[in-house]
């Protein structure tokens, strides 16, 4: 792959900038909340002079966030949070048209991926913005010399939040982080409707399979799993859910799905998709039990939910019938198809979550960046929730942008809710 490198950026092809610009504008049409924030940031400059390193999926939606942060006065360097999720044209436009140094090439290998994180860190960040916590982990492991200048950070995704909480528990986390994922206006929409739709999009783009009548096994019934199960069912699939958490399993049962251990589901699965955030969810024994032609994919953050080493070990032959499909002939004579090398299917084979949900996720990111820039001195070194007033402001702005009005409590209702005297009448 020929790419263009310089100290200030590393993108596949800077001449793709005009195409990237069109994609950024197209996504921007569906991001009215972020647009409002950008207009205010242009006036108020709440991030004036703040050095920021962002490790995010480099998509047209992220570009709208990056432009907003810059409009607020931030000096931002951006790198990818996954080797396969970069939209090369967008990376080119950010670098060329928006003056945001970007280090991201779709298909980059692991060494280059981590090299790009180091390049983003060259900004000597005061604020970090992460999706999966690779940037924060690299800072703490290899660039401790930079830690004293970091004031605070934000984290986008469930997996990153779990990782950062583990760091905080170990006493390792050296600056406060706001868990953007925990905002209701993030995970109820982005994780559920975003992952639900874009995973199906990735599955269809990669394979063009018909979902109607297929048995689709969804591993994990968190917000992403809930969204994915409902979208697969909506397309006529017979959905089976696997879970380790009894409450979530029960919820899946009462939502109308069959629930069973993956070992039992494996022989009848046409398609298996992991969305758990854990390792080796699809393990050797499951692979051995799959029927001929089973399709396996992952939409969790990291590419370790499917035991690819075991799959390789069981394989006698691997072919690539289509982009994003690797077909493994197993020693038992069956073939198992893995999509997008087990990496985030929705971002590798499709374009990630649609802009309309990223609007809310990234509105939270922008407002939390402003919040930590202002309040870092009073925040403890741990993982914090998004302030509820930011969360409800995002919901309010989104409803307004959608032209939807809602009721307000009367004075009588307000006082009723704060009193205990009246009960059964």
Q: Which residues bind ligand ADE (CB under 6 A)?
A: 56-57, 59, 61-62, 194, 347, 352-353, 358
Q: Which two tokens stand for residue 92?
A: 């080119």
- Answer yes or no: are the C-beta atoms of 133 and 383 closer than 8 Å: no
Q: Which of 394, 371, 389 is nearest to 152 (CA)?
A: 371
The residue of the chain with the least Cβ separation from ligand ADE equals 352
Q: Which is nearer to ligand ADE, 197 or 207 (CB)?
A: 197
Q: In the 8-state DSSP scheme, what is residue 123? A: T
- Residue whose entry in the numeric block shows the structure tokens 């970090």: 128
Give phi and psi for 261, each to the nearest 5. -65, 150
CB 293 within 8 A of CB 269: no
Name the minimum Å distance from CB 58 to ligand ADE. 8
Q: How far is the CB of 5 from ligand ADE (least distance, A)?
A: 24
Cα–Cα distance between 190 and 317 in angstroms, integer?
38
Neighbours of 267 (CB within 10 A): 12
In the complex, minimum distance from the CB of residue 164 to ligand ADE, in angstroms, rounded to a whole number: 17
Query: Is the Cβ–Cβ distance between 345 and 273 less than 8 Å?
Result: yes
> Closest CB to ligand ADE among 152 and 358?
358
Compute the least distance from the CB of residue 101 to ligand ADE, in Å: 18
Instruction: Pick between residue 182 and residue 255 the one whose CB is nearest to ligand ADE.
Output: 182
Q: How far is the CB of 357 from ligand ADE (least distance, A)?
A: 8
294 near 318, Cβ under 8 Å? Answer: no
Least Å distance between CB 364 and ligand ADE? 13
Contact by Cβ (8 Å): 262, 286: yes
* Identity of the residue, 61 or 243, whose beta carbon is nearer to ligand ADE in the bound complex: 61
* C-alpha R_g of the chain: 22
Q: What angle do CA 110, 134, 351 make, to 5 degrees?
A: 75
Report in angstroms how near the CB of residue 346 gets to ligand ADE at its nearest: 7
- The residue (of 123 and 180) whose beta carbon lies closer to ligand ADE is 180
User: For residue 22, what are its two tokens?
Assistant: 């069109």
The three-state DSSP-derived secondary structure of 62-98 is: HHHHHHHHHHCCCEEEEEECCCCCCCHHHHHHHHHCC
């Amino acid at each position: 792959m020929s790419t263009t490198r310089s100290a200030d950026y590393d993108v596949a092809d800077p001449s793709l900038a005009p195409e990237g610009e069109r994609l950024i504008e197209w996504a921007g049409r569906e991001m009215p909340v972020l647009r409002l924030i950008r207009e205010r940031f242009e006036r108020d400059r709440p991030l004036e002079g703040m050095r920021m390193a962002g490790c995010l999926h480099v998509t047209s939606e992220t570009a709208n966030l990056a432009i907003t942060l810059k409009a607020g006065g931030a000096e931002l360097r951006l790198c990818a949070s996954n080797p396969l999720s970069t939209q090369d044209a967008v990376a080119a436009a950010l670098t060329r048209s928006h003056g945001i140094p970007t280090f991201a090439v779709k298909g980059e290998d692991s060494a280059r991926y981590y090299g790009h994180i180091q390049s983003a860190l060259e900004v000597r960040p005061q604020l970090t913005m992460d999706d999966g916590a690779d940037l924060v982990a690299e800072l703490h492991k290899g660039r401790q010399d930079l830690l004293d200048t970091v004031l605070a950070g934000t984290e986008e995704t469930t997996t990153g939040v779990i990782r950062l909480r583990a760091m905080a528990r170990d006493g390792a986390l050296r600056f406060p982080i706001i868990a953007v994922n925990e905002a209701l206006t993030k995970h109820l929409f982005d994780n559920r409707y975003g992952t639900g739709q874009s995973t199906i999009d990735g599955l269809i783009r990669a394979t063009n399979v018909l979902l109607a009548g297929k048995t689709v096994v969804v591993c994990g019934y968190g917000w992403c799993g809930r969204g994915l199960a409902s979208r697969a069912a909506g397309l006529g699939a017979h959905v089976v859910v696997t879970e380790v958490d009894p409450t979530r399993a029960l919820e899946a049962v009462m939502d109308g799905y069959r629930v069973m251990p993956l070992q039992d589901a494996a022989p009848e699965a046409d398609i298996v998709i992991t969305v758990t955030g854990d390792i080796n969810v699809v393990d050797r024994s499951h692979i051995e039990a799959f029927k001929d032609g089973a399709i396996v994919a992952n939409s969790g953050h990291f590419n370790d939910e499917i035991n690819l080493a075991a799959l390789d070990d069981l394989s006698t032959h691997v072919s690539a019938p289509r982009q994003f499909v690797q077909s493994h002939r197993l020693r038992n004579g069956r073939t198992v198809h893995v999509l997008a090398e087990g990496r985030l299917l929705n971002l590798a084979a499709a374009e990630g979550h649609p802009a309309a949900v990223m609007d809310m996720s990234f509105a939270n990111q922008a407002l939390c960046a402003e919040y930590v820039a202002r309040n870092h001195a009073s925040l403890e070194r741990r993982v914090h929730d998004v302030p509820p007033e930011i969360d409800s402001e995002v919901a309010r702005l989104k409803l307004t942008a959608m032209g939807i009005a809602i009721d307000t409590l009367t004075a009588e209702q307000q006082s009723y809710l704060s009193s205990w005297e009246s009960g059964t009448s």
